[in-house]
Structure 1
Amino acid sequence: MPSFSTTLEQAIHAALGLANKRSHEFATLEHLLLALMDEQDAARV
């Protein structure tokens, strides 16, 4: 299994939470992008 940075793991976890909150069956790239917008370092990009 690949090793991810703590920041990326938190973003993936947040993306899963966003999908779950919206009763979506899958977490998609859009969920990950939304989660990354809340991450200060990624939001600058």
Structure 2
Amino acid sequence: MRALTAAAIGLAAALALVFALTAVGAPDGHTSPEPLLTTVPEHP
């Protein structure tokens, strides 16, 4: 019974954190216009 109670408290805390972050919203910012390099450029 203690394990079930602990799991319920943990789930409630996790959901409260998710809802709090959702209420705050995403931080303001911008993305870079430069593309990210996924491979090493070849040198001639």
TM-score higher than 0.5:
no
Bigger relative contact order, structure 1 or 2, given CA contacts below 8 A and separation 6+?
A: 1
Q: Work out which of the two has the higher radius of gyration on C-alpha atoms and give 1 or 2.
A: 2
Structure having the larger proportion of residues in helix: 1
Instruction: Give the TM-score taking structure 1 as reference length.
Output: 0.43
Q: Could you state the TM-score of these two structures normalised by the residue count of structure 2?
A: 0.44
